[in-house]
Amino acid sequence: MIKKTIFLVFIFLVSSLAGCIAEEQSIIKEEIIESSVPERISFTSPIMGDENNSNLDLHEYVSNNSVLLIWVAANCKGCHDWTDVFAEEVNNGNISNNSILSIHRYAAFESPSSIENVYGKNATNPVSWPLLLPTENTQLFDLDTGLESEYSIYDAFGNPSTPTLQIMDSTGKLTWTSKTYWATEELVEEIKGLLE
C-alpha cells in the first residue's frame, strides 16, 4: 500500500511540473523572433583609394537601382575571378559601373593596403567601382526604424564568406545571394537580368 501511495504522489508531482517547462520554451522562442536581423539595412564605410577619406553611405548608393554587392578578400582567387568578369562586363557596357559595389570582408585579418594591392588602380584585379573597407565595429542601421542596430554588418548580411555575391534593392533589402566560388556565364546572365 505504501508503494502505491508513493507512486501516486510521484505521478502527481511530475505531471504538475510538465507545464512549467513548456512555458519557458515558448518565451525563449518569442525572444528569438523579436530580435531578428532588420530586413532593410545600411552602413557607411571608407572607400578604398579615396584621397578625401570620405565615407560611402550604402543606402544612398543603392537608392536609385539594385546593386550587386561582392564580398571580397585579398587572397581569394574566386573573388579575383568574379571581379575580373564584372570588370569586363562594365568595360563592354553590359553593366553600369554604379550597379556594383565590392565590400572587404576580413578587416580583422587583412589591411586596407593588402586590398588596394589586389583591387586598386594599378593592381592585378582592379575595380572601377567603389570598394568599401568596413571594420569589425562598423555600425549597422535599421532603415525601418532609422536607429542603429545591435547586429554587426557581418551578421546582418548573413556572415558572408568570400566570394559572396548579393543583390540589394533600392530600399536596402537583400533580394538575392550566391556563394558560388568561381564565376559562371549562367550566374553572370542571371545577375545582369536581376540588375535590369
CATH architecture of 41-195: 3-Layer(aba) Sandwich (3.40)
Please report, for the chain, the start and end positions of each structural domain, with discontinuous segments joined by +. Answer: 1-35, 41-195
Closest CA to 59 of 128, 150, 135, 144: 144
pLDDT tens across 77-93, in order?
999 999 999 999 999 99
Lowest mean pLDDT of 6-20, 133-147, 152-166, name the range.
6-20
pLDDT of 35 strictly over 90: no
Whole-model pTM: value is 0.81
